[in-house]
Amino acid sequence: MKGYQLKITVKGSSPPIWRRVVVPSGITFADLDQIIEYLFGWTHSHLYDFRILDEDLLIIEEPDSYYEEEANVEIIDDYFYETAKINYTYDFGDCWEHTILVEKEVDYDENFPIVLKSKGPNLIEDCGGIHEFYNVIDMAEPFEIDVANRYMKEHMLFQRNDSYKNVIDMPNQSEDALLEKIREWEEEGEEVFQTFEEFHEKLIESYVQNFSLEDIFQDYSKREIIEMVKENHFSGYSSFKKMELVEWFVEKIMDNSYMEQIIRQSSKTEVELFEKVIQEGHLLCPIELLEHVGILFQYCGYIHGYLIVPNDVKKNYKKICKNAPWKKERDRKWKIQSYIRSCIDFYGVLSFKDIADIYKHYEKRTVTEEELRQLSEEVSEQEEWSVKEELLMDEALAEDQMYQFVLQEQSGLPYYMPKSKEEFLDGKLLGGEDVDILIQGFAQFLRTNMFVSLHESQTMILLVEDMLRHNRSIEEIKNTILRFKDQKVNKRLEGELVGFLMCFSDCTRRWENKGFTPFEREEMDEKKKRTGLKTLSSQAYEETMKIDNVIPFEKEKKIYPNDPCPCGSGKKYKHCCGRKK
């Protein structure tokens, strides 16, 4: 079993008031609140919250939004790792803020906390906060470690919620046995997930039959709705209570002209996903898709991981889009944008003229350089592109003039051009006959040896592709992967990992190669070299023939069977000397 050594410091205290404590793993944030309140003399008279800084997440007693989690449910292990920092606030009036630093993981079998060291007295409730506290510090009770540890051993026995046994609990098992046990856990997890998914699908189906956009926003806090109102640049809402605000906001964004504007501004990916949700009723998807204001953010609900479109939104959407004259022009823009995106993915940097030529090559239609420039500038922030004079490039290349190095490396090379437009627009960045086998092998290696999920292995493969395109070294990519799960591997596995990365390096389409893989580039260079030598040999022969004292050998004349024999007999060659051969 394990625990966490924490250093909890009161913000603004001088000299610092802190406690170093070991807490058992598997406890909830509500349990951790009990520990902190006891360690600093709080009396559970006020509300509290934990803020996870890395994830911008709030953990409180009674969450009322998608950005908050319940303290009685969330387990500390999901957020605790060495050097992690978490903010804890007690009493939102006096605003006592504490910084929790996870110093390290430790072996710890007990189910109660223990204080190792401390500095400073207990604090005083309702004294006005840290600055007023020093005016009454003489009234503060001292903190005694021995007393605290006796009390917590007797009264703070927590239920540990470890979801599965750590490998450390099975020291006598062989590596093969451990791997087999992990596979069993994964299989059990998949079965549970399938059951969970089926249950939620049925629940969602019954839940959304008469669902409206207003119903969705009723589950939001007033603060969240106000933030959405501000994002839409609406005004005149300050006097509304929550229910009035919901009704007013829904009326605003359901207005036909306004909703049409949002639809037209949304990306192709967003609209396609939105229409898929309408068609299927609901769709399991990550919440990250709802991060910015758009059709998914404003007109969808997100329930237990499922994206849903309310009935009134479906009806309005179909009405707006039916026979809409702007759809044809929007679809054309989307197509052009797809070509631009593939150009950037394959080549990194190129001129608008070259993009126009590539578009014409596949579509047999023209697009002007000015139209390409205008569209690129419109979506540059969304797509992370950068425009410099007549060039369009990936945003990463604009930094420190990196695009100049890429252009120099590209000099004299043709563009990699897949045979069909479907292949080009698909934008696959790995090339080669055995690339699928490589991907499957690497994913299996990661899952077996680094215990990552299928989704995490796919994320790692995309990360490797991206880092190779940005000319990161094999060593840097290797270290990044090992940090992904804070893994320590032996030399043999490290060597296998490097081997996989070198294979990926050979078959990744590179910007400096104009979309060709290093292997394809090497073949092109070799062919060019052979052609150059052949040309040079021919030129050398012609120059030699120009020298006066060089007499070329006369070529032997070919004699055909019916020709006169060259011996002068008057017979045909085939009946004379030709018979002797």
d(CA 406, CA 391): 12
Mean pLDDT of 548-557: 49
Length in residues, the chain: 581
Which residues touch 143 (CB under 8 Å, ≥6 apart)? 19, 39, 41, 118, 120, 121, 122
Contact predicate 515/413, CB 8 Å: no
Give the DSSP letter string of 200-252: HHHHHHHHSTT--HHHHHHTS-HHHHHHHHHHTT----TT--HHHHHHHHHHH
14's tokens: 């001088």
d(CA 65, CA 298): 15
Query: Over 50: is that where the pLDDT of 502 sits?
Result: yes
Classify domain 2-155 at the CATH topology level. 3.10.290
Residue 579: predicted pLDDT: 65
Q: How far is CA 117 from CA 98, 137, 144, 155, in A?
A: 17, 21, 10, 20
d(CA 458, CA 446): 10
Give the closest residue to 451 by CA, choosing from 164, 82, 169. 164
d(CA 113, CA 152): 6
- Rounded-to-5 percentages of helix, strand, coil across the chain: 55, 15, 35
d(CA 15, CA 115): 20
- Going by pLDDT thresholds of 50, 70 and 90, the confidence category of residue 175 is very low
Residue 181: predicted pLDDT: 46
Amino acid type, 93: G
* Element containing residue 455 per DSSP (H, E): helix 454-469
Amino acid type, 448: T
d(CA 237, CA 97): 32
- Going by pLDDT thresholds of 50, 70 and 90, the confidence category of residue 561 is low
d(CA 434, CA 438): 6
152's tokens: 């917590």
Contact predicate 485/450, CB 8 Å: yes
Residue 356: predicted pLDDT: 95
Query: Over 50: is that where the pLDDT of 174 sits?
Result: no
Query: Over 70: is that where the pLDDT of 549 sits?
Result: no
Query: What confidence tens digit (pLDDT) does each residue in 217-265 have?
Result: 887 778 788 888 988 889 888 888 888 999 999 999 999 999 999 998 8
Which residues touch 42 (CB under 8 Å, ≥6 apart)? 36, 90, 91, 96, 123, 125
Query: What confidence tens digit (pLDDT) does each residue in 204-213 have?
Result: 666 666 788 9
- Going by pLDDT thresholds of 50, 70 and 90, the confidence category of residue 391 is very high
Query: What confidence tens digit (pLDDT) does each residue in 87-138 have?
Result: 999 998 899 999 999 999 999 989 999 999 999 999 999 999 998 999 999 9
SS3 label, residue 106: strand
Q: Any idea which residue has 């934008």 for tokens? A: 427
What percentage of the chain has pLDDT greater than the value 70? 82
Mean pLDDT of 50-79: 82
Mean pLDDT of 68-77: 86
Mean pLDDT of 540-554: 50
Give 134-142 contacts, CB < 8 A, sequence gap 24+: 140/41, 141/41
Mean pLDDT of 73-89: 89
Give the DSSP letter string of 118-181: EES----TTSSSHHHHTTSGGGSPPP-HHHHHHHHHHH--PPP--SS--GGG-TTS-HHHHHHH
Residue 100: predicted pLDDT: 95
Residue 577: predicted pLDDT: 79
More confident residue, 538 or 467: 467
Query: Over 80: is that where the pLDDT of 464 sits?
Result: yes
Which residues touch 520 (CB under 8 Å, ≥6 apart)? 416, 431, 513
In the chain, where the domains are located: 2-155, 213-321, 326-426, 435-507
Query: Over 60: is that where the pLDDT of 195 sits?
Result: no
Residue 556: predicted pLDDT: 54
What percentage of the chain has pLDDT greater than the value 90? 33
Q: Decide yes or no: CATH 1.10.10 for domain 326-426.
A: yes
Query: Over 70: is that where the pLDDT of 36 sits?
Result: yes
Amino acid type, 405: F
Residue 178: predicted pLDDT: 42
d(CA 256, CA 236): 20
Query: What confidence tens digit (pLDDT) does each residue in 351-387 have?
Result: 999 999 999 999 999 999 999 999 988 887 777 889 9
Query: Over 50: is that where the pLDDT of 466 sits?
Result: yes
What value does the mean pLDDT of the chain take?
82
